[in-house]
Amino acid sequence: TLPRVYITRQIPPEGLKILRESGQVQYELWDSDDVPVPRKELLQKVKGVDGLVCVLTEKIDTELLDAAGPNLKVLSTMSVGFDHLSLEELKKRGIRVGYTPDVLTDSVAELTVALLLTTSRRLIEATHEAKTGGWGTWRTLWLCGHELAGSTVGILGLGRIGVAIAERLAPFKVKKFIYADVAPRPELASVINAEYVSFDELAKQSDFLSVCCALTPETKEICNKDLFSKMKNTSIFINTSRGGVVNQEDLYEALSTGQIAGAGLDVTVPEPLPTSHPLFTLKNCVILPHIASASYATRNNMSALAANNLLLGLRGEPMIKELKL
């Protein structure tokens, strides 16, 4: 009999087509993209499966792996992030893990640039003023923001995505790229001519600070009071990685007191961020609902890669993109 697989979401058609046409698996899926599978249902559905395809809304932890049982050999997440997975627990059980880096790099970099410009040039405020009667006359300092030309752009966590963002920002006449990380990344840094600096220097020098690191126990809330207090009051903070990297209370404080000029966030804690959250009251904070990889092409590519990783894993072959546990 064919390996049994559960898919926790109605993923984009490319991936489902690959699974269907492979003839290698029998799968069942949570047939909705609008609401996540309820935890109780998930715990029941995973019983005895050989493979699991998930998205970032599902916590893959001890409870879930216990519910799945010893048949589970392959987990394939349709995401580049892996903070929803208990890696230690997966490793202990010998479960292989596929994920979807690279295919989303262009889309995430593109969105990050869009969010950066939206925040720095105050586009949301500006359209709001235009349509609600605030546009009294052309004014000399009204809705002024901060420009990229001549600026220093800082990247926290230099990986594929950070490089792709810098490549797109360079034509805006950025003066200097700097980055902070746990260790220098000379090969990646040379692509964008970026200088390795300490975390402190990153805070002090950046006119635009873009968070591009993974969320791990080491990076949890590293963007806090300490960082914001060292930033210039003209600086813009951008986060398209994970909300957990930021202490949101400290960010609120920094934005509301003018310690920094603005923030653009594609990720928050929790998600969705409640509409009553104080960050939504701030004009200098632009919040997007976690859409950095959301282009049709990229989401289909992620779906296809997740499907192919799963099939390769179930055959005992190397996956296209496999997390080293």
Catalytic residue positions, numbered: 290
Piece in contact with ligand GLV (CB under 6 A), picked from 13-21, 78-86, 222-230, 250-258: 78-86
Contact 179, 161 (CB under 8 A): no
User: Minimum distance from CB of 244 to ligand GLV (Å)?
Assistant: 12
Q: Of the two residues 215 and 254, which places its CB atom closer to ligand GLV in the complex?
A: 215
* Closest residue by Cα to residue 252 from 288, 281, 231: 281
CA dist., res. 15 & res. 204, Å (int): 44
Q: Of the two residues 56 and 211, which places its CB atom closer to ligand GLV in the complex?
A: 56
Residue 315 DSSP SS3 = coil
Contact 177, 204 (CB under 8 A): no
Question: HSE on the CB side for 324, CA within 13 Å?
Answer: 0
User: Minimum distance from CB of 305 to ligand GLV (Å)?
Assistant: 11
Q: According to the binding rule CB under 6 A, does residue 301 interact with ligand GLV?
A: no
Torsion of CA 157, 160, 165, 169, to 10 degrees: 100
Provide the 8-state DSSP code for 2. Answer: P
Q: According to the binding rule CB under 6 A, does residue 314 interact with ligand GLV?
A: no
Q: Which two tokens stand for residue 265?
A: 């966030």
Q: Which two tokens stand for residue 49?
A: 């499966």
Piece in contact with ligand GLV (CB under 6 A), picked from 8-16, 73-81, 117-125, 255-263: 73-81
**Out of 25, 56, 180, 310, the residue judged to bind ligand GLV by CB under 6 A:** 56
CA dist., res. 324 & res. 22, Å (int): 26
x/- letters, 254..293, toward ligand GLV (CB under 6 A): ---------------------------------------x
Piece in contact with ligand GLV (CB under 6 A), picked from 76-84, 176-184, 196-204, 273-281: 76-84
Q: Of the two residues 4 and 290, which places its CB atom closer to ligand GLV in the complex?
A: 290
Q: Which two tokens stand for residue 71?
A: 């048949």
Q: Which two tokens stand for residue 272?
A: 């969705």
Going by C-beta distance under 8 Å and a sequence separation of 6 or more, which residues neighbour residue 133? none
Using CB under 6 A, count the residues that bind ligand GLV: 6
Provide the 8-state DSSP code for 219. Answer: T
User: Minimum distance from CB of 159 to ligand GLV (Å)?
Assistant: 12
* Closest residue by Cα to residue 260 from 292, 223, 290: 223
Q: According to the binding rule CB under 6 A, does residue 81 interact with ligand GLV?
A: yes
Which of the residues 103 through 142 are near ligand GLV (CB under 6 A)? 104
Residue showing the smallest CB distance to ligand GLV in the complex: 81
Q: Of the two residues 67 and 288, which places its CB atom closer to ligand GLV in the complex?
A: 288
User: Minimum distance from CB of 142 to ligand GLV (Å)?
Assistant: 12
Q: Which two tokens stand for residue 297?
A: 């092409």
**Out of 80, 163, 203, 279, the residue judged to bind ligand GLV by CB under 6 A:** 80
User: Minimum distance from CB of 6 to ligand GLV (Å)?
Assistant: 20
User: Minimum distance from CB of 171 to ligand GLV (Å)?
Assistant: 22
User: Minimum distance from CB of 55 to ligand GLV (Å)?
Assistant: 8
Q: Of the two residues 112 and 293, which places its CB atom closer to ligand GLV in the complex?
A: 293
What's the count of helices (H) and strands (E) in the chain, helices before strands? 12, 12
For 254, other C-beta atoms within 10 Å of its C-beta total 24
- Site residues (vs ligand GLV, CB under 6 A): 56, 79-81, 104, 293
